[in-house]
Structure 1
């Protein structure tokens, strides 16, 4: 253990050296254990094990996982200490961009002293930096995929494949489907990660890209069970729904994409539902309104609400959409949003003020529902 200032400084320098040498989060964990003793578990944001130092430390995993739910109470992102038989365990969230991306649990026979806690603080910070660098690299790859996908959907397939070859972005061949998956914007990162990490899609040459927050496009080869795979993804995210095309040839992708977008805009807000673009009955009237004038009207109608939404932690657009989808029933709407009915009432007062509309008027509700559907692709 560090006994003086020089030893502490040396321990901090060693942690930084390990991080800079790209030994990754496991290398940082190993350095912590060699310095303060005990054991370390590294978990991802869902509590799954990423690393165990030493390997026998995984025996503590079930107990640590049961404690992680406490971090969700009141958006708590600070450290906690847990007492276990013969062990004192400190659990630290690894935070990037204001959310816990993982957890570090360190346990030993006696609690950490202030100097050792500062060392663990440094280790946690370095792990967050490692995640941030990984995120930046992943975002660059995502940007490449989005550029290629947009070219494919625009019908510029020859240029898309040249660009894909340069950027090393895999593109499916032969008959394929295109799908649009959507969730409220605050669940957008989860939707994208769920699609990217889906094992069934990873076995195929699939092109996945986020078009904007909460909207993910998927281009995948036609295969047995392909639509069931997309449905499974939607069931794993809150309020997920989508639309998918028939099997189509590459040259017909722009037309297929237009149908998918129209059905997605017009279809009912039914969580977990994947609509098929060939079923024009699902699109109804709104499939005829996919034009610049209609979109301009929708944008103007919702402008006040978009302004209220901007910069707020509350997704007011999704609140209104859920309220209208439940025919204005407060209890059902509050339950779907997982908030108290008094919170819903306060939000709806803000929404009515931002829109300067009477939300009890059936005509107003109908217009707002159409505007939301036209503006959500």
Structure 2
């Protein structure tokens, strides 16, 4: 306002406010506060206020959150009263001197024009932001591009969270540290597609939280935060971005469903005994088929939680990195074909841990052609055991069934006595003969395969096997001895 030369306004108090003038009000009352709502520039000539207590007058204006006071001279006063200047200076209230030749209506018109100009600028900025968001959504960069444009348009940090409030994208990356606090508050908010947005205080910032509506269901959340609240125009920009992200999630879901169908088709070929055809189909459909030896895992849960179980398996980092093939098998179970490698069983455990009540059985490592038999054994253990462990290993269905019958103190004592020489040897040697025996028996006595799995030379393995036969006083070529040792090892693992 001081920059508009035609108004010839003069500042009498060197005070700064970081708020815009919301409107103009004219009053000659000694106490105009009850007619104000805050944010106004108040204009007065001081008419009828010869005996007013200026300090009390200024105090009531400051308490009412008035932006500033314009005092018109030449009507009731030839100059602005010095006590008024002193009171305004003391309380930090901007004070303007309005010359007689400048009518109050000119000030009102100038402010109205400026407010209209700022609103037009905000709307144009919002339209430009919407255009930028649309271009970002149509680019190959996906949701992250939309979030980058949104953060720039709102001058804020932005998070895209999934339904469990886990971070999918963060702009800038440092915004990730705010996710933990937001995650704690989301449950209490209870947002859905009907309640819409909510506001949170996050580390001194004001954050707007909006659920992403995909076909009538919440599929995630967008959180935008900064030190000041969003304006109505900025909220419209945020809402527009939500629509674009919803469309993007729909496309993503459709792509995921198509990939799931492809993976299931390839797995069905493997389970049908068509290993060669499965490899050809995997190449055509760009589906990763784990190389052998691979294990097949049966993971199951309630019908209502199957979608969560499938998603957990698809998103598990270790399984993704190893190229595991994940597919729904029926209404209550998910199958995972994964290469035998370090940490593979731990990855399965993590998947089961994410879904309450889920449990699973993993087979031994087999070649692709033997997966159908491995699945039959794993499913027999899955449906035939009463164990409460989250994940079981199915080496052989007959053994698993027998173990269930041998779960008693006498059998446990027999197993401990049979393996006692190896346990005693382990106390005085770093050589792990128990693990060597387990791998050898699991691979049906195949030396080369067992040596590869143990990461040692086959001559080293033969030396270890000789030590085992010496300690146990038995022959590993004897089927009965091997069966008894295998039972003893399995009983130890499942006890």
TM-score for both structures, normalised by structure 1: 0.65
The answer as to 2:197 corresponding to 1:53 is no
1:89 to 207, 212, 231: 207
User: Whose helix proportion is higher, 1 or 2?
Assistant: 1
SS, match of residue 137 in structure 1: helix
Q: Give the CA deviation at 1:199.
A: 2.9
- The residue number in structure 1 matching 2:187 is 69
Higher relative contact order (CA 8 A, sep 6+): 1
Indicate how the Cα distance of structure 1 residues 243 and 75 shifts in structure 2: closer, same or farther if over 3 A, else same: farther
2:235 to 100, 106, 117: 117
Q: Give the CA deviation at 1:169.
A: 1.6
Indicate how the Cα distance of structure 1 residues 60 and 246 shifts in structure 2: closer, same or farther if over 3 A, else same: closer
**Mind listing any 5+ residue stretches in structure 1 that lack a counterpart?**
285-377
Indicate how the Cα distance of structure 1 residues 262 and 6 shifts in structure 2: closer, same or farther if over 3 A, else same: same
Cα distance in 1, alignment partners of residues 323 and 147 from structure 2:
35
The answer as to 2:377 corresponding to 1:259 is yes
1:14 to 132, 146, 156: 132
Indicate how the Cα distance of structure 1 residues 172 and 34 shifts in structure 2: closer, same or farther if over 3 A, else same: closer
Total equivalences in the alignment = 284
Cα distance in 2, alignment partners of residues 85 and 178 from structure 1:
47
- Give the conservation status (yes or no) of the 8 Å contact 1:25–1:130: yes
Q: Give the CA deviation at 1:97.
A: 4.5
Cα distance in 1, alignment partners of residues 275 and 193 from structure 2:
45
Deviations along 1:251-278, one digit per CA (max 9) or x if unpaired, are 3322222222233233338472435262
- The residue number in structure 2 matching 1:173 is 291
- Give the conservation status (yes or no) of the 8 Å contact 1:179–1:243: yes
Q: Which has the larger radius of gyration?
A: 2
Indicate how the Cα distance of structure 1 residues 110 and 232 shifts in structure 2: closer, same or farther if over 3 A, else same: closer
Cα distance in 1, alignment partners of residues 343 and 205 from structure 2:
49
The answer as to 2:331 corresponding to 1:191 is no
Indicate how the Cα distance of structure 1 residues 58 and 168 shifts in structure 2: closer, same or farther if over 3 A, else same: closer
**Mind listing any 5+ residue stretches in structure 2 that lack a counterpart?**
1-117, 403-495
RMSD: 3.1
Cα distance in 2, alignment partners of residues 176 and 55 from structure 1:
37
Cα distance in 2, alignment partners of residues 77 and 280 from structure 1:
56
Cα distance in 2, alignment partners of residues 56 and 228 from structure 1:
30
Q: Give the CA deviation at 1:200.
A: 2.8
1:105 to 223, 226, 231: 223
- Give the conservation status (yes or no) of the 8 Å contact 2:366–2:374: yes
- The residue number in structure 1 matching 2:413 is none
Name which of structure 1's ranges 227-236 and 56-65 shifts more when overlaid on structure 2.
56-65
Indicate how the Cα distance of structure 1 residues 2 and 173 shifts in structure 2: closer, same or farther if over 3 A, else same: farther
- Give the conservation status (yes or no) of the 8 Å contact 1:2–1:116: no
